[in-house]
Structure formats: structure tokens, C-alpha cells
A = this chain, B = another copy of it.
Amino acid sequence: MTEKRLPFSRAEFDRRLGLVRSAMANEGLDALFVTNPSNMAWLTGYDGWSFYVHQGVLLGHEGDPVWWGRRMDGFGAKRTVWMDDDHVSDYSDDYIQSDERHPMQTLATLMAERGFEAGRIGVEMENYYFTARAMEVLRTEMPKAAFHDATNLCNWQRTVKSTDELDFMRKAGAISTKMIEGIMERVEPGLPKNDLVAEIYRDALRGVDDAWGDYPAIVPLLPSGPDAAAAHLTWDGRPFAAGEATFFEISGCHRRYHAPLCRTVFLGTPPQDMLNAEAALVEGIEAGLDAARAGNRACDIANAMMAVLRKAGIERSGRMGYAVGLSYPPDWGEHTVSIRESDRTELKPGMTFHFMPALWMEDWGLEITETILIREGGHAECLCNYPRKLVVKP
């Protein structure tokens, strides 16, 4: 058997399968086909940059799941999953970018072999890597099956983290802290943005102590001045300018676990309205952290923050955070719980969130955020450790 590299124990593997099967039973599913790379990794251990071709994990109610994908990635699966080699099923390269055949034809055959030909099968219809074409080919090949949208069914089982997962996230948090420290040390007028991103990546990948750095699921974002309103434009070669605020949205990553952290710098003397907003934001974060207790609800965090912002006369709408943990590009959110006024999910010990009450104004943005852990007793714990303030470099 191939040498294995597994991030969790066999007992934890069984626990995860049990959670997902219970959710499948609630939905009346005979089988679940998971394509979200984060769900694949959490369920089986699989970790590879291969989500640009069709792949997935097929899970019924009996026995181990089956990893399914491209032949060359099957070799990677055999090294990284809890199942034995008989539970790795592959298709040949003839199916890659072919006009004549589609990989889902081989998945349909596999599903039939496993007895799901006329089953009720959950698929993640809103996952990035499950295309409209994939769905159509499956429907054509399996006319007797009933497909059910099971987007996020598996994601929801991931919200409460195990001790090992929290260990990975604390390490990611230590890397995030180091990244922000490096940024604040180096940023200055005249420094080309790409040169700073080079150092941010270097810090992220070198990691901290025994926590080696993995690639974050989102590239560093660092818009300045009025570009804060267009927060997802990436960097170029232009330099930082004096008299502007820049916010940094980054995350360290260890074994695919993230702990995002955002801080803002002003190069020069910040305007009074930004300082006022900073004071309200910091007070609001403290209020939010205090509301982030097991037994409370996700909306309680948002409401606590909003009360402080409203008192300070700041208008804001939209989410102010989301569940976070194991992720692959293009997003590090878990797509389950949101910290917003309409989300009544109960907070449980072991849940982790990026609490991100960013303020995006017309000509500046202010981001001061924390990745937080809901605890058994008391208020939430922050997994990163950097002063909660607007950094001013005169």
C-alpha cells in the first residue's frame, strides 16, 4: 500500500462519515456525490491541486466512500485518503477536454455499479467545480436516478471543529499575525505594491515554527484610497502613496486551514471621520466578541456590533462575517453560517468565524477583523494576535 499522509485519525474519519450520513438520511438521500474540494478533503483527507478537472467523492450509507477522478490524481488520492486503493476509481486522460466524451459518463457507470442507478442522489449544484454540463451529462446517463440539490449539506457538518482542526487554525492564525506584522513594518510611500505582496507571500509560506505555510485560498487584497470601494481588484506595480488608507485582507494557511485577519494602515495623518469610525469599529468588535458565546445566535454578534455603529451614526448593511476553516480557491468562507442580522444559527463551542465588520466608504475603507473561536464558557477567543487599531505611519 502507498505511504499515507493523513491529517486526521481513523476515529475522526468515522465520526465525519457518521455526521454526513445522518444528514443524508434526513434528506432521504441514498447517495451523496461531493465535488467541493474542501468537502472532499474533510471527508477523506484528499488534498491536491486537481479541482480543475472533474473529481469527487461518492458516499452511500454502507462501507467506505469512493474517491473518483482523473487517473494521475488517483495516484495522489491513494497517498492521501483513508480508504484503501479499491476505493479509488479513475478515468483516463481521453476524457480531459474532449469533445466526444465526458468524465461524468464514467461516474454514472460507477454509480450504477454501486447500486445507485435508480437512487436518490445528492449533488452540490452550487459548487464551483460542478458545472452545468456535468449535471446534464449525469441526468442523461442516469435517467432513472433522482438528483437532489445537496449544496452545503457536507459544509454544515464542518462548522464545529475538532481539536486537531483547531490546532491547525491556531497555527494559521500565528502565520496571519506574522504576515500583518511584516506588512506594517514594510509598507511606506513609494513601495511598489507587488513588492510588498512578494514579502507577504514569503511570510505566509515560510510559516511559523513547525507550522509550514500552505497557499491561501484567496490572494492578498490591498486596495488603497478610493479603490477600497472596489475591494476585489488585485495589486499591480504602482507604489503606495502618502495621504491614503490601505486595508490588507490576508490569511495564513496551514494544511488548508485558514484564519483570516485584516488591518488598515494610513500613511500620513488620517482624517477625523476615519478616526471616529475606527473608535466605533473597535468598540463594536469588543461588543461583538462579548456576544459571541455558546448558546447565543449568529445574529447576536451582528446586532451587538450594529448597535455601536448606529450610536456612532455609521450606516452599514450586509454581512459582517462568515464561518471559516478548511478551504480551497477561490474562497476561504465555509458558505454556512453568516454573521448577519437575519442569521439565527445557534453558536456552539468549536465554531470558528471570520468576524469582519468592514466599512467601505466612498473614498476609503477600514477593515479591522478577527478570526474567532466560540468557547465552552466565556466570550470568543481570537486566533490571531495583532493590536486592534488603525495603524498610522506618519
Chain A residues within CB distance 8 Å of chain B: 5, 47-52, 72-73, 75-76, 78-80, 93, 96-97, 123, 125-136, 149, 151, 192-195, 197-199, 201-207, 210, 212-215, 218-219, 221, 227, 229-237, 255, 317-319, 322, 329-331, 333, 335, 338, 360
Is the Cβ of B230 less than 8 Å from the Cβ of A206?
Answer: no
- Chain B residue at smallest Cβ distance from A203: B198
Given A5-B236, A47-B233, A212-B237, output 14 extra A-B contacts at Cβ < 8 Å.
Answer: A76-B230, A76-B232, A93-B319, A97-B333, A125-B131, A126-B133, A130-B132, A132-B134, A194-B212, A194-B214, A198-B205, A201-B202, A201-B205, A214-B236
Is the Cβ of A229 less than 8 Å from the Cβ of B72?
Answer: yes
B residues in contact with A93, CB < 8 Å: 317-319
Contact (A97, B201) CB under 8 Å given A49-B219, A128-B129, A230-B73: no
How far, in angstroms, from A41 to B210 measured CA to CA in the complex? 40
Contact (A230, B72) CB under 8 Å given A198-B202, A205-B198, A237-B212: yes
Is the Cβ of B233 less than 8 Å from the Cβ of A128?
Answer: no
**What 8 pairs between A and B have smallest CB-CB spacing?**
A212-B237, A132-B135, A76-B230, A198-B205, A201-B201, A52-B330, A52-B331, A125-B133
- Chain B residue at smallest Cβ distance from A196: B205
B residues in contact with A197, CB < 8 Å: 205, 213
Is the Cβ of A205 less than 8 Å from the Cβ of B194?
Answer: yes
How far, in angstroms, from A317 to B92 measured CA to CA in the complex? 11
Is the Cβ of B219 less than 8 Å from the Cβ of A192?
Answer: no
How far, in angstroms, from A151 to B129 measured CA to CA in the complex? 15
B residues in contact with A233, CB < 8 Å: 47-48, 76, 79-80
How far, in angstroms, from A51 to B73 measured CA to CA in the complex? 25
B residues in contact with A214, CB < 8 Å: 194, 234, 236
How far, in angstroms, from A255 to B194 measured CA to CA in the complex? 12
How far, in angstroms, from A227 to B3 measured CA to CA in the complex? 10
Contact (A132, B128) CB under 8 Å given A199-B202, A232-B48: no
Is the Cβ of B230 less than 8 Å from the Cβ of A75?
Answer: yes
How far, in angstroms, from A56 to B230 measured CA to CA in the complex? 17
Contact (A149, B128) CB under 8 Å given A212-B237, A230-B76: no
How far, in angstroms, from A182 to B129 measured CA to CA in the complex? 34
**A362: min CB distance to chain B, Å:** 10
**A117: min CB distance to chain B, Å:** 20
How far, in angstroms, from A133 to B49 measured CA to CA in the complex? 24
How far, in angstroms, from A376 to B198 measured CA to CA in the complex? 37
How far, in angstroms, from A71 to B56 measured CA to CA in the complex? 32
**A358: min CB distance to chain B, Å:** 10
Is the Cβ of A50 less than 8 Å from the Cβ of B135?
Answer: no
How far, in angstroms, from A133 to B135 measured CA to CA in the complex? 9
Is the Cβ of B128 less than 8 Å from the Cβ of A52?
Answer: yes
**A124: min CB distance to chain B, Å:** 8
Contact (A330, B132) CB under 8 Å given A79-B230, A80-B233: no
